[in-house]
Structure formats: C-alpha cells, structure tokens
Amino acid sequence: MSRATATAAPPAVRPAGHAVLRGGRASFLVHRRSVVVAVALAILLACAVVAYLCVGESFVPPTEVVRVLLGRPSPDELVVGTLRLPRLVVGLLAGAAFGVAGALVQTVARNPLASPDVIGVTHGAGAATVAAISFNAVAYDALPYVSVAGGLAAALLVYVFAWRRGLHSSRFVLVGIGVSVALGSLTQLFLTKGDYLVAQQAKVWLTGSLNGRGYEEARPLAVVLLLAVPAALWAARAQRGAHFDDDTAAALGVRLDRLRLGLTVLGVVLASVATGAAGPVDFVALLAPQIARRLTRTAQIPLLSSALTGALVVVVADLLARRLFSPIELPVGVLTAVVGAPYLMWLIVRTRSRSGGTTS
C-alpha cells in the first residue's frame, strides 16, 4: 500500500454522472443523463399529444391541432377541444400520477414487483368508488376522497396482514396479491347491488377506460398533482436514503421509518386519485418507473421521468385503444395489461433471489 502524496489540489470529486450548480452557499446536484432523458421524454410526449389529437374518426391536421391548443379560433375546435382534449388531459394526469406512485412504492419496497396496482391499492380505490356509487352514499364531488380513502385502507390492510415481526418484501407482495384479488371481488359484489345502469357504467370503468372522462374527473387529479409537487421534490431527495440497509441508514442519521411512511403515503394517494379519475389502469404504475430507470441508468428510480413515461404510456395506449378496432373502442386498461403483464412475467423470470430485507 503506497501512500498517495497529496501536494496538488484533489481532483473534483462528485457522484458519478452529476453536474454541480453552485451559487453562494447553495449547491445542487444534477444528474446529466436524467435531464437529457427527461427532455427527450417531454418531446416525445408532446408529439404523442399532437398525434392523439389528430387521429380519430376524423383526421385533424397537426397545424389545426396546434391552433386549437393555442386558443386560436379554428373549425376543428369542437372535435379537438371538446371531444378529444378533455379525455387526453385525464389520461396525461393519470399516467403521470401512476408513474410517480409506482416509482415511490417500488423504492420503499425495494422491489420492482411491489407496484401499487399489484399490491391492491388501485383495487382498493376502485372498490371504494364503486361502493360509493352503488350505495349512492356520496355526492359526486366527494368521490375522489372516497378513492383515496379506499386506496389508503387497502395499503393499510396489506401492511397489517403482511407484518409479522417485520416486513419481508416477498410476503408483502404475496399478501398484496391476495388483497388485490379480494378487493376486486368485493367490487364485483358491490356491482350486483347497484342498479343495472350503474353496474354497466362501473364495469366499463373497472377495466380502466378513458371513455367519457372529462375535465370534471381531471380537476381533483390536477389539484392533487399540484399539491404533490413539493412533496415529490422532497421524495426525490429522500429516496436516496431508502437504498441502504437499515443499519447503514440509521448510521447516516436517516429516519428510515418516517421516510418510508412518507413515501408510501404519497405513492398511495397519487395512485388512488388517479384510479378515481381514470379507473384502475393496470400496469402503468409497474411499467413506467422501470422503463424510466432503465433509460436514465440510475440506481434510484427517477421521479420526473417516471411521470413523463407514465403519461406517454397512457396517451399512446389510449390512442391505440381508440383506433385499433374502430369504431369500437377498447378500454385503455386492456392495452396496458396486454403489454404490461408479459413485462411483469419477464421481470419475474429475471428476479434475482435478493432478499428484500426486513423493514420495520
């Protein structure tokens, strides 16, 4: 072992792939590749949005779409602005919310398979919403709160049943699957209670369909997303602590239990509100974060890119759902499942028997 002679100033050391922005006493770390990926995704998303608004029963040229978006008068205002745009907005927001929710829950569980849709959160939100509709218990504006309550209740259920002297990631996922199935059945149960018309609507809603969604559904979702932005900024920093084993994290002064709780609650709330708005669109919360992470090649799941990827997935999937078998519209959930389920299976095959570790 030779001693390094440190007469020269030490070379700039910083976490790999990051650039540093300094101003006064403040300093910020920026991961270069993540920025590039986010910008690319944003561009892709913009193109997808325009394509979505162009394509349909009648084709609207892109220039007209842009005019409508910019608020200028145009003959296609009805088609684009009233028919397609509201649905697009719901899809965008829901996709972003699912993406972030998936990223957060997967980080806390340290397991890509533990996604809010796999472990029953979305089904919980769905069951609560359907129950509220079937029993006519709640006013329409209060439905988003019901969804959130349902999602939180489901997450709590899974936690309670999976906890046994600590939380093993695999038991967590297994219990989550069970709770997910039970809640799905509960939803079916409530469907038989409600009247026929309600049941029909709810059934379509249950597969995750953007048909008939508009600004009413989008509003609560937009509000929550906006409020979630500062929380998301905190989460992005806090994620780094969630990576370590319990002892090392404690040694670094990280309040692991508080952190995990915060991240999980944020994730569950986002997934529940998105479900309330768009129905349980399966697999977006699973797919989007994993795709984003593979793009940015970071150890931790990037939140912004997950949101953008989620939005992109939903927009593209809904576009295909509308056009593939036109004039019949498939529910968007069918498409995401057809792609997402094989991806989940591939993830299962690739899963290394890493012990998710005890969290408590």
Partner 1 sequence: MSRPTTSRLAAQDLTLAYEDRTVVEGLDLEIPDGKVTVVVGPNACGKSTLLRALGRLLKPRRGAVLLDGAELARVPGKQIARTIGVLPQSPTPPDGITVADLVARGRQPHQKWWQQWSEADELAVAEALRRTDTADLSDRPVDELSGGQRQRVWIAMALAQDTDLLLLDEPTTYLDIAHQVEVLDLVRRLNHERGRTVVAVLHDLNQAARYADHLVAMKAGRIVAQGRPAEVVTAELVEDVFGLSSVVVPDPVTGGPLVVPARAWQPAPLQEEHTRSTTRP
Partner 2 sequence: MSPSTRRRAGWLLAGTAMLLIAVLLSLAVGSRQIAPSEVIQALVHGGTSDDAQVVRSLRVPRTVIGVLAGAALALAGTVMQGITRNPIAEPGILGVSQGASVGVVCAIAFCGVHTLGGYVWFAFTGAALAAVGVYAVASGGRGGASPLKLALAGAAMNAFLASLVSGIATTNARALDEFRFWQVGSISGRGTDIIGQIWPFLLAGLVLVVAMSRGLDALALGDDAAKGLGHNVGLLRLLGALGATVLTGASVAAVGPIAFTGLAVPHIARALVGTAHRWVLPLAALLGPVMILGSDVLGRIVFPPSEVPVAVMTALIGVPFLIALVRRRTVVAA
Angle at 13 between CA 12 and CA 16, to 5 degrees: 125
Q: Is 159 in the site for partner 2 (CB under 8 A)?
A: no
Answer for which of 179, 202, 284, 307 binds partner 2 (CB under 8 A) is 179
Closer CB to partner 1, 13 or 349, in the complex: 13
Task: Measure the CA–CA gap between 232 and 220, rounded to whole angstroms.
Answer: 17
Residues 272-301 that bind partner 2 (CB under 8 A): 282-283
Q: Are 278 and 94 in contact (CB under 8 A)?
A: yes
Rounded to the nearest whole angstrom, what is the least distance from the CB of residue 15 to partner 1 in the complex? 5
Q: Are 94 and 281 in contact (CB under 8 A)?
A: yes
Rounded to the nearest whole angstrom, what is the least distance from the CB of residue 252 to partner 2 in the complex? 26
Q: Are 239 and 263 in contact (CB under 8 A)?
A: yes
Q: Which residues does 20 contact at the CB level (< 8 Å), separation at least 6?
A: 14, 27, 28, 29, 30
Answer for which of 28, 59, 215, 325 binds partner 2 (CB under 8 A) is 325
Task: Measure the CA–CA gap between 341 and 19, rounded to whole angstroms.
Answer: 37
Residue type, 234: W
Residue 201-240 contact track with partner 2, rule CB under 8 A, x = bound: ------x---------------------------------
Structure tokens at 133: 């509709």
Residue 237 binds which entry of partner 2, partner 1, none, CB below 5-8 Å type-dependent: partner 1
Residue 45-84 contact track with partner 2, rule CB under 8 A, x = bound: ----------------------------------------
Q: Is 353 in the site for partner 2 (CB under 8 A)?
A: yes
Residue 150 binds which entry of partner 1, partner 2, none, CB below 5-8 Å type-dependent: none
Chain centroid offset of residue 275 CA: 10
DSSP single-letter state for residue 30: E
DSSP single-letter state for residue 2: P
Alpha carbon separation from 331 to 213, 283, 306, 322 (Å, rounded): 12, 14, 22, 8
Rounded to the nearest whole angstrom, what is the least distance from the CB of residue 324 to partner 1 in the complex? 38
Rounded to the nearest whole angstrom, what is the least distance from the CB of residue 206 to partner 2 in the complex? 9
Q: Is 178 in the site for partner 2 (CB under 8 A)?
A: yes
Rounded to the nearest whole angstrom, what is the least distance from the CB of residue 10 to partner 1 in the complex? 3
Identify the H or E element spanning 35: helix 32-54
Closer CB to partner 1, 27 or 192, in the complex: 27
Binding site for partner 1 (CB under 8 A): 1-4, 6, 10-16, 18, 20, 22, 25-29, 165, 233-234, 237, 240-241, 243-245, 247-248, 250-255, 299-300, 357
Q: Are 135 and 319 in contact (CB under 8 A)?
A: no
Closer CB to partner 1, 72 or 258, in the complex: 258
Largest CA distance in the chain: 82
Task: Annotate 157-184 with DSSP letters as a single string.
Answer: HHHHHH-SSSEEHHHHHHHHHHHHHHHH
Rounded to the nearest whole angstrom, what is the least distance from the CB of residue 201 to partner 2 in the complex? 14
Residue 10 half-sphere exposure, CB side, CA atoms within 13 Å? 4
Q: Is 317 in the site for partner 2 (CB under 8 A)?
A: no
Closer CB to partner 2, 2 or 355, in the complex: 355
Where on the chain is the footprint of partner 2 (CB under 8 A)? 113, 118, 161-162, 164, 168-171, 173-175, 177-182, 184-186, 188-189, 192-193, 207, 282-283, 325, 328-331, 333-335, 337-338, 340-342, 344-345, 348-353, 355-356
